[in-house]
Amino acid sequence: MKSASKPHALVTGFPRLLSRGLSRRWLNEHATGRVTLLCPPDDHDAAVAFREALAPPMRERLHVVIGQPLDTDLGLDRGEILRVLDETTHVFHTATEQTGSRAALRRRNVDGVGRLVELAYEMPRLERFAFFSTAFVSGNRTGVIREDDLDCGQRFRTAFERTMFDAEMVVRSAMPYLPMTVLRAGSLLGHSRTGEPESVDDGPTYLVRLLIRMPAELPIPLPGSGVVPLNIVPIDYVIRAGTALAQRPEAVSRTFHLCDPNPVSARKAFELLGDVANRPTTFTGRTASRILQGALRLTGVAAFAPQTLALFEALNTHVIYDCSGTLDLLSKSGISCPPFESYADQLVSWVARYERSSRSPGSAAPTSA
C-alpha cells in the first residue's frame, strides 16, 4: 500500500466513548494527523460539540461527516467519499451494537463491517483497518482462549456475540488482500482515571449501578463461586493499546486480546466495589446461580441488557484470554493494563455521581475532561 504524507484516520462508532477516545489519541499522537469522524445524523450536534471541546490545534484537524457504514458510500456525497477514500491511511471501526433484535444486530455488526471492507479496497493509501471486536466471541468456551482462536464449536450466549463472530469471519476473509487487524476487548469498564464508562445501561457498569441502588444493609447476591477471573478492562487501555497496535507492521493479519493479563477474581472485584460503595456482596454458588439467572431472564434483562446477563453467566465460566501477542508488541511502548484495584474507586465514584444526577431533574451527568 502507498503511504500518505499525513496520517489520516477514519473513525466510526460515534458517539461511543471508544470512538471519541481514539479520535483524541490519534490527534494527540500525530501533530499533522487528521481524523474524519463518521457520525449518524441523530448525533450530529453531539459530534460538533465534541469537536468544539477540543483544543484549537486538534479541532482544526477533526472533520465531522454525517453518515453510517451501512449507507451507500457511507452516506456521503461524491466529492466527500472520494476525499475520504483518497486520504485515509487508517480505519478504526467501532460502529457495533450490543442490543437489538438478531436481525438488527446482524445488519449493523456484520453487514456494516462488510460494507466498510468493500470501501477499503478503494483506499490507495490504506495502511491499516482496525476492527474492534470482543473477546466474548469465545462464547461458552472454557480454559485458555488463544488470540488466533475463532471457530471452535462454541455456543453463543447473546446475539451480539454471534454477530461479532460473524463479523470477524468477514474481516478474516479480507486478510489476504487488505492490512487488517482484529482487536478483541474484554468487558469494557470506565476510564481508569475518570471512571467514565462506555455504557451505563449494560455490562459491568450496570451491575455497579445495581450495587449502588441496593440498601446498604442488604447483601447483593452474585452468581457463581467468585473464583473465576473477571475479564474486565478499562477503556483507556483499549484506546491506547488499539491505537499502538494499529500502527505496528507486525500486527497485520493478526488478532489481539485487549484484556487484563492478570485478571482479578470475580470475588475480589466485587468485594472491592462493595467496600468502596459500602454495599456487601455475596456469591450464591452454582445451583442458586441458575435460579438467579432464570429470574433475570423472566424480568426481561436479556432484552434491554443482554451483556449484563452474559456477564452473570460468565461468572460461572472459567476462561482466560491469552494476551501474549498483545504484550509482546506493546512490551517497549510503555502501554500496560492498570490493575483493577487502581481504578475501582474512580468507577464507583463516577457511577454514584451519575445515579445522583439521574435522580435530580436538571442535573447534568458527569463527563470526562
Residue reference for cell 475463532: 150
Contact 81, 116 (CB under 8 A): no
Count of alpha carbons within 13 angstroms of residue 356, beta-carbon side: 7
Give me the pLDDT at residue 366, please. Answer: 63
Q: Which sequence spans correspond to the domains of the chain?
A: 8-189+234-261
Rg (CA), the chain: 20
Q: Which helix (H) or strand (E) holds 144?
A: strand 143-145
Give me the pLDDT at residue 308, please. Answer: 65
This prediction has a pTM of 0.90
Cα distance between residue 221 and residue 159, in whole Å = 26
Q: Are strands 128-134 and 180-185 parallel, antiparallel or unpaired?
A: parallel
CA angle 335, 318, 207 (to 5 degrees): 70
CA angle 237, 220, 305 (to 5 degrees): 55
Residues ≥6 apart with Cβ < 8 Å to 25: 239, 240, 243
Phi then psi dihedrals of residue 321, to 5 deg: -95, 110
Cα distance between residue 78 and residue 118, in whole Å = 16
User: Any idea of the CA torsion for 218, 222, 224, 226, to the nearest 10 degrees?
Assistant: -80
**Residue of 101, 110, 98 lying closest to 136 (CA atoms):** 98
Q: Which amino acid is at 41?
A: P
Contact 95, 38 (CB under 8 A): yes
CATH number for the domain running over 8-189+234-261: 3.40.50.720
C-alpha cell at 282: 455475596
Q: Which amino acid is at 238?
A: V
**Residue of 142, 348, 311, 320 lying closest to 222 (CA atoms):** 311
Residue reference for cell 490545534: 57
Which ranges of the chain have pLDDT less than 50?
1, 3-4, 291, 369
Cα distance between residue 139 and residue 127, in whole Å = 31
Q: Which amino acid is at 310?
A: A
